[in-house]
Amino acid sequence: MDLLLQILVNGILQGGLYAIMALGLALVWGVLNIVNLAHGAFIMLGAYISWYLFTYVGIDPFLGLPITACVMFAVGYGIQRGLLNLIARAPMFNTLLITFGLEVVLTYMAQLIFSADFRTINPVYAGSSFTLGHLTIPAVRLAAFGVAMVLTLAMWYFLLRSRLGRAIRATAQNLVAARLYGVEPRHLYAVTFGLGLALAGAAGGLYGTVSQINPYIGATLTAKSFAIAIIGGLDNPLGVIVGGLFLGLIEALTALYIGPTFSDVASFGVLVLVLIVRPSGLLGRTA
Amino acid sequence: MISKSLHAIPFALGTLAMALSLSTVQAAEPTIVLGASVQLTGSSANTGRYYRDAYQLAIDKINEKGGVKVDGKSYKLALKIYDNQSDVNLSVRQYTQLVSQDKIHLLLGPFASNFALADSAVSEKYQVPMVQGGGASDQIFARNFKYIFGTLAPASNYFGSTIAMLKQVKPVPASVALLYADDSFDVSVANGTRPQLKKAGLNIVMDERYSTNASDFNSLLSQIKSKKVDAVLVAGHETEILNFVRQAKSLNVAPKMYSFTVGVPSEDFRKALGKDADYAFGMTAWLPGPTLKDKWFGDAEQFAAAYKAKYGYEPDYHAASGASDVEALVVALEKANSLDPKKVRDAIAASNFDSLYGKIAFGKNGQIDLDQTVVQVQDGALKPVFDGKAFINQAKYPMPSWSGR
């Protein structure tokens, strides 16, 4: 029983990390209709920025998160303005090609700059934990979980309640009408992509505190984020939390009861099931 | 008119290419070209670089000392290397290109068992010998191929010396967990380790396979803790081992010992983990010392120093294995006294010489047999602790709890 409880806690904490990883992807996909295949590579970039700040500037990885997010926002704003806006009206295949290309470029740039060595963000408290009865709760994972929840809620509030968020959603829903109300779509698209990357950057910083970083982690993270966004649904940030937690729990329980080698099979099996039964995601609007 | 001139372009380019390739051939001295496809980018690039760097260093050294003498003629060695981007299929295509298009003379290997397993089919088909020091899986050598040779110790016996040590430590572990990734090398390790553990009378309480590139070991670690496992043996990749150790710390899981097939002997591992690398056991078939002599570098110590000076990082057994592959080819070329791949192949099979890596003598299946020395990270440094029969240095066992370090 203790073991099962511990596994559930592990799954939930991992799920929180998953949620923040998928949030940026879901935002960009849901609003801009861009399936960003470079999303994992941007998470990797965020992880390296946090690692750099921690190792060479001495900034704590959690305190460095806003810096990482700001840098990534600027990167995202620039990429959307300079590159992706050019093909805003083109078929989706073009955005897939461009973001795939970005993924390749980013990965190899990272190897050129940082080499293929693996890095860890290892502050003194990285390995500390506290116990709750028989449960062991890793402090960093809990903190990462907390940050993920706060950011998800902030994103939810921003999109659904704030003026800019409403403008973003309005543009996504009806470009012509939004323009009539004075919305400048090019700027809004860039802000949205920037926000997506800022979230990816924050996710990368958190990822680096619990896992090793190397230039090649991106592809797996994109695939995971993709699955979570689909499972949770694209039109509501809360869905992404549900998707993340769901996936974290499925993986942890599969590892316990069936075997760790089946974790990926289980998570992508769930993805297929969700696509069949509820194509708009667990919390998505039913069509 | 336009279509005519367009048609001329390929011819012009072809002529140009021929002229260029002719000019390089004319300029070069008599050269023996060794071909390889190695992971220089992609997920295995971190270990792949050992092979590129070791090949180049060995070739430079041999050239500096006069090159290779075959049939009264002196040849220089050259390396033709491709980056397989950590993609097995690309690697097979590149080896095919090396032997069929580039007309290299002999082959050096890639890193990792699943690559060597696939690539050796090319060397076998074209009957060009490949000496590789990057694949240890028994699968590679179980097919009676004649043109593949391996200088890593058999995967099935990677944990042999560790298990011998476990019977001599006090207290002897009451329970063992065997964890392994689902690739050719690690499955071979597990298949060889399982019967050895049973024979040693050690109780296997967990026997789990996990996906290659897994980053979440929390479930496995929680089970290790809940079952109070004493000794944990992990066959996996460096990135996985790093995550494993970090998560073990954060979940406060401290068995009496853990040992890893890879990572521990490499400098990066200790750098990435810092103090948390302490107490980790591993194994290596090679430690740079003055007892391992060879004709070109002098001894393994000098090889290690030259390697570190040139590339800025310490060689581990992968690098030594790669350098010995070049030496094995050179020794065989001189002994066969011919560039004929079949004759060189027979000379490789009959190898028996001392290299900076150890004695090179291939078994009937084409694989070398070397003893693994158990090593441990102690106070940030790599210490040899057990040679398969007796302790060389004191092993730090049992491992203290994370809070008690």
pLDDT value, residue A285: 64
d(CA A216, nearest CA chain B) in Å: 6
CB of B318 closer than 8 Å to CB of B282: no
Distance between CA atoms of B385 and B383, rounded to whole angstroms?
6
Give the Cα-Cα-Cα angle A182, A184, A188 (nearest 5 degrees): 130
Cα A172 to Cα A31, A99, A175, A185, B208, distances in angstroms:
5, 20, 6, 9, 47
CB of B331 closer than 8 Å to CB of B116: no
The DSSP call for residue B401 is P
Of B42, B238, B276, nearest to A127 by CB-CB distance is: B276
A129 CB neighbours in chain B (<8 A) are: 250-252
A139 CB neighbours in chain B (<8 A) are: 250
The CA dihedral of A190, A196, A197, A200, to the nearest 10 degrees, is 180
Count A/B contacts: CB-CB distance under 8 Å: 118
CA B102 from centre of chain: 25
- Least confident window among B116-125, B173-182, B212-221: B212-221
Q: Is B106 exposed, middle or buried, given 0-12, 13-18 or 19+ CB atoms closer than 10 A?
A: buried
| Entry pTM | 0.89
By CA distance, what is B182's nearest residue in A? A261
Report the candidate in A44, A94, A96, A100 with the shortest Cα–Cα distance to residue A72: A44
Within an 8 Å CB–CB cutoff, is residue B15 touching chain A? Answer: no
By CA distance, what is B46's nearest residue in A? A116
pLDDT at B278 over 90: yes
Cα A168 to Cα A136, A159, A283, distances in angstroms:
42, 8, 20
User: What's B272-296 look like in SS3?
Assistant: HHHHHHCCCEEEECCCCCCCCEECC
- Determine whether the interchain pair B246/A14 forms a contact, defined as Cβ–Cβ distance below 8 Å: no
Contacts of B401 (CB under 8 A, 6+ apart): B252, B254
d(CA B295, nearest CA chain A) in Å: 32
pLDDT value, residue A126: 86
Q: Which two tokens stand for residue A224?
A: 């995971």
Contacts of B202 (CB under 8 A, 6+ apart): B163, B166, B167, B172, B173, B175, B176, B231
Within an 8 Å CB–CB cutoff, is residue B71 touching chain A? Answer: no
Contacts of B189 (CB under 8 A, 6+ apart): B155, B156, B158, B159, B180, B235, B261
- Determine whether the interchain pair A255/B220 forms a contact, defined as Cβ–Cβ distance below 8 Å: yes
Distance between CA atoms of B162 and B346, rounded to whole angstroms?
35
- Determine whether the interchain pair A116/B220 forms a contact, defined as Cβ–Cβ distance below 8 Å: no
Report the candidate in B296, B178, B184 with the shortest Cα–Cα distance to residue B231: B178
- Determine whether the interchain pair A118/B274 forms a contact, defined as Cβ–Cβ distance below 8 Å: no
By CA distance, what is A122's nearest residue in B? B273
- Determine whether the interchain pair B243/A212 forms a contact, defined as Cβ–Cβ distance below 8 Å: yes
Report the candidate in A42, A91, A95, A29 with the shortest Cα–Cα distance to residue A205: A42
Distance between CA atoms of B201 and B195, rounded to whole angstroms?
10
d(CA A151, nearest CA chain B) in Å: 23
pLDDT at B20 over 60: no
Token pair 């996504």 is found at A172
Within an 8 Å CB–CB cutoff, is residue B312 touching chain A? Answer: no
pLDDT value, residue A185: 86
B93-125 per-position pLDDT tens digit: 999 999 999 999 999 999 999 999 999 999 999
Beta carbons within 10 angstroms of residue B378's beta carbon: 17
d(CA B286, nearest CA chain A) in Å: 22
Banded pLDDT at A246 (limits 50, 70, 90): very high
Banded pLDDT at B377 (limits 50, 70, 90): very high
Distance between CA atoms of B398 and B255, rounded to whole angstroms?
8
- Determine whether the interchain pair A108/B49 forms a contact, defined as Cβ–Cβ distance below 8 Å: no
- Determine whether the interchain pair A120/B242 forms a contact, defined as Cβ–Cβ distance below 8 Å: yes
Contacts of B16 (CB under 8 A, 6+ apart): none
107-146 of B, contacting A, C-beta below 8 A: none
